[in-house]
Amino acid sequence: MRLIYVWLIVPILLYSDTLLIMNSNAKVERYASMEKAFTKHINNIHRIDISKMSSSQIKEYLYANYPDIIYTIGTKAYQYAVKYVPEKKIFFSSIVNYKRFNIGNKRFGVANELHTGMKVTLIKSLLNHTKTIGFLYSRYTKDIYESFKEEAKYVGMEVIGQKIDKDTIFDIQKLKNADIFVMIADPIMLKDEKKVQNLYKVLKEDNKPVVAYHPLYLKYGAVLILSVDIPTVGRQVAAMVHAEMSGTLTSPIQMPIGSKVIFNEGLAKRMKLHYDKAALSVVNKVIK
């Protein structure tokens, strides 16, 4: 399922306003991909990678160059832009749960995850015997958890959630009681790769299917990937800049409009999962 609207085909912007791309870390593949897609549609760009810059260096750069518009990629870049030049128009992408920030005027961006209703519907369509979903969340992603709970009700599913912090020991039995486990991009989970690997190991031993948000987790044993199409996000932000500059932007915060669905059918068969073969029509890639 890959939805790309016509308005994403935007001309190169030739405005006199200066535009800065602040990349939290250009060595991160998804960040680099967003930047590359964005720059194909925007002219008169300056760019910085702040991954090795100190706070004072970032502040000095922003004050010296004082761009009219800033596109921030990643949470770190967004926070620095808001801190030092809050009066400027700031666009963002790749912020986990942007709702945890006080998003006010002159703030525009694309959410980090696919629409929850879309994800829940895809899960129910493909793994149609699913009645309960195991879910880990933290203070950073509580809004996403609440959204999952609400959306799941509409398709006859229940979410079994567990709140975590950096020292949490998983209630594995609670997670095992669910039919599947859905993994989201939670900052606390992302900081501890060993914790993620251990979680997948335990779930695999219990023959519990995992739905994840990035193809990276296929190697850990995820059976279904519901991910954002990364280059499309860059193009989407470029289209938003274009619309804002021309006075036609109607929605300052948008959901990603491009998606990729990957289903590991070979693993599903080995796990003896029941899945709807007719629903494979919505899948971009099937792994045998």
The three-state secondary structure class of 108 is: strand
Is 139 part of any domain?
yes
pLDDT in tens, 107-125: 999 999 999 999 999 999 9
Length of the chain, please? 288
Is 212 part of any domain?
yes
- H or E stretch at 134: strand 132-137
Same domain, 81 and 163: no
Per-residue confidence at 1, pLDDT binned at 50, 70, 90?
Answer: very low
User: What's the structural domain count of the chain?
Assistant: 2
Same domain, 197 and 107: no
**What's the pLDDT score for residue 43?**
77
In sequence order, the 6+-apart residues with CB closer than 8 A to the CB of 35 are 21, 23, 26, 47, 73, 234
pLDDT in tens, 233-255: 999 999 999 999 889 999 999 99
**What's the pLDDT score for residue 188?**
87
**What's the pLDDT score for residue 121?**
94
* CATH number of the domain encompassing residue 148: 3.40.50.2300
**What's the pLDDT score for residue 196?**
85
pLDDT mean across residues, the chain: 90
**What's the pLDDT score for residue 42?**
83
Same domain, 158 and 83: no
Q: DSSP label at 262?
A: E
Show the DSSP H helices in 109-191 as ranges: 116-126, 142-154, 172-176, 187-190
Whether 12 shows a pLDDT value over 70: the answer reads no
Same domain, 46 and 107: yes
Q: DSSP label at 111?
A: -
Select from 164, 158, 175, 93 the least CA-distant residue to 120. Answer: 158
The three-state secondary structure class of 137 is: strand
Per-residue confidence at 165, pLDDT binned at 50, 70, 90?
Answer: confident
Whether 170 shows a pLDDT value over 90: the answer reads no
The three-state secondary structure class of 91 is: strand
Do 218 and 263 touch, CB atoms closer than 8 A? no
Do 44 and 272 touch, CB atoms closer than 8 A? no
pTM: 0.85
Same domain, 139 and 188: yes
Same domain, 131 and 35: no
**What's the pLDDT score for residue 169?**
73
The domain of 19 spans: 6-111+231-249
